[in-house]
A and B are shown apart, each in its own frame.
Chain A
Amino acid sequence: NAGVTQTPKFQVLKTGQSMTLQCAQDMNHNSMYWYRQDPGMGLRLIYYSASEGTTDKGEVPNGYNVSRLNKREFSLRLESAAPSQTSVYFCASSPYGGADTEAFFGQGTRLTVV
């Protein structure tokens, strides 16, 4: 009953370091998303992947890259971390198709860049 699994749960980076946040879902969903959550800002879309082999920018893509490795996995990479990227990151997935299909979220990754 795993659903959407994110790793790691917590991470501290130094400015300029790189890292990859991993996300995997076992629900055979086509669409996957990366959001960041900041106080007072709600959930903002970084990138999404409508289906395997496609990725698109969301509202706040600068400083991030993504890879849809296969249908299950969607990773988010910070090439050169900045303090402005301190946030809680959520991965989500959703079946492709009607707009009435809900999103399922992972438990989040709390990232601090010092």
Chain B
Amino acid sequence: ILNVEQSPQSLHVQEGDSTNFTCSFPSSNFYALHWYRWETAKSPEALFVMTLNGDEKKKGRISATLNTKEGYSYLYIKGSQPEDSATYLCAPRTGNQFYFGTGTSLTVIP
């Protein structure tokens, strides 16, 4: 079992605000770090997969960075929109297992 921590647990922002969340994980035995987006009443969907220290990935207004040496990843959302409201999960993957954090619940207020 891997100890994966995500912060904050929940976040309310105004439409147009930029925001970021953190995922912390043990830096040893690292293979890959996954971010998933989980909308209410749906199933989680993959956002990013990062494997290398210093990796940065971007998809539209959402981006992520990875620091494997210190064991953390940041997810950034620029100019939040109501459709960004969801829970964002991070999951380090070692071998065949994904170790999911409890997620950051984002609510974007119009």
List residues of A whose CB falls within 8 A of some B CB: 31, 33, 35, 40-45, 48, 50, 58-59, 90, 92, 94, 96, 98-108
Contact = CB atoms under 8 A, between A and B. Distances in A.
Given A42-B102, A42-B103, A102 B46 contact: yes
Contact of B100 (A42, A48, A102): A42
22 contacts: A31-B96, A33-B98, A40-B102, A43-B89, A44-B100, A45-B97, A45-B98, A48-B96, A48-B97, A59-B1, A90-B43, A94-B98, A96-B96, A100-B49, A103-B34, A103-B44, A103-B91, A103-B98, A104-B46, A105-B44, A106-B43, A108-B43
A48 B44 CA distance: 17
Interface of B: 1, 31-32, 34, 36, 42-46, 49, 51, 89, 91, 93-98, 100-103
A60 B83 CA distance: 33
Nearest to A50: B96
A48 B94 CA distance: 14
A99 B98 CA distance: 9
User: Of residues A50, A100, A101, which shows the largest number of chain B Cβ atoms within 10 Å of its Cβ?
Assistant: A100
B31 A99 contact: yes
